[in-house]
A and B are shown apart, each in its own frame.
Chain A
Amino acid sequence: MNKRIDINRVKDIAFKYFGICCTLFGLIMLAVFLLSVLKEGLPRLNWQFFSSFPSRKPEEAGILICLLGTIWIMVLTAFIAVPLGVASGIYLEEYGKKSKFASFIEINITNLAGVPSIIYGLLALEIFVRILGLGKSLLAGSLTLSLLILPIIIVATREAVKAVPGSIRDASYALGATKWETVWFQILPASSGGIITGVILAISRAIGETAPLIVIGAMLYITTVPTSPMDDFSVLPIQIFNWLSRPQKGFIINATAAIIVLLAITFIMNGIAIHLRNRWQRKVKW
Chain B
Amino acid sequence: MLCAAVSILTTLGILWVLISESSMFFARVPLSEFLFDTQWTPLFADKHFGILPLVTGTLLTSFIAVFVALPIGLSIAIYLNEYAPRSFRKTIKPILEILAAIPTVVYGYFALMVITPALQNIFPDMAGFNALSPGIVMGIMIIPMISSLSEDALYAVPKSLREASYGMGATRLQTSFKVLVPAASSGIIVSIILAISRAVGETMIVAIAAGQQPRLTFNPFVPVETITTYIVQVSLGDVVQGSLEYQTIFAAGVALFLLTFLLNNISYFIKKKFQEKYE
Contact = CB atoms under 8 A, between A and B. Distances in A.
A105 interface: yes
Given A114-B197, A151-B7, A208 B235 contact: no
Interface stretch (A51-59, A121-129, A185-193): A121-129
A79 interface: no
Given A108-B11, A220-B236, A118 B79 contact: no
Interface in A177-217: 201, 204-205, 207-211, 214-217
Given A33-B114, A116-B203, A123-B10, A237 B17 contact: no
A180 to B, nearest CB: 10
Give the interface residue-count category, chain A: 35 or more
Given A151-B7, A244-B208, A118 B231 contact: yes
Contact of A16 (B2, B79, B203, B253): B79
Contact of A91 (B4, B17, B18, B200): B4
Interface stretch (A161-169, A224-232, A255-263): A255-263
Q: Which of B3, B147, B207: most chain A Cβ within 10 A?
A: B3
A234 interface: no
A150 B14 CA distance: 15
Contact of A19 (B3, B76, B96, B202): B76
B72 to A, nearest CB: 5
B112 interface: yes
A68 interface: no
Nearest to B92: A23
9 contacts: A23-B76, A90-B1, A95-B1, A111-B264, A122-B249, A127-B17, A252-B113, A259-B105, A270-B101
Contacts, number: 242
Interface in B110-135: 110, 112-114
Interface stretch (B31-39, B216-224, B255-263): B255-263
A48 interface: no
Contacts of A108: 7-8, 11
Nearest to A273: B101
B95 interface: yes
A241 interface: yes
Interface string B1-35: 11111111011011001100100000000000000
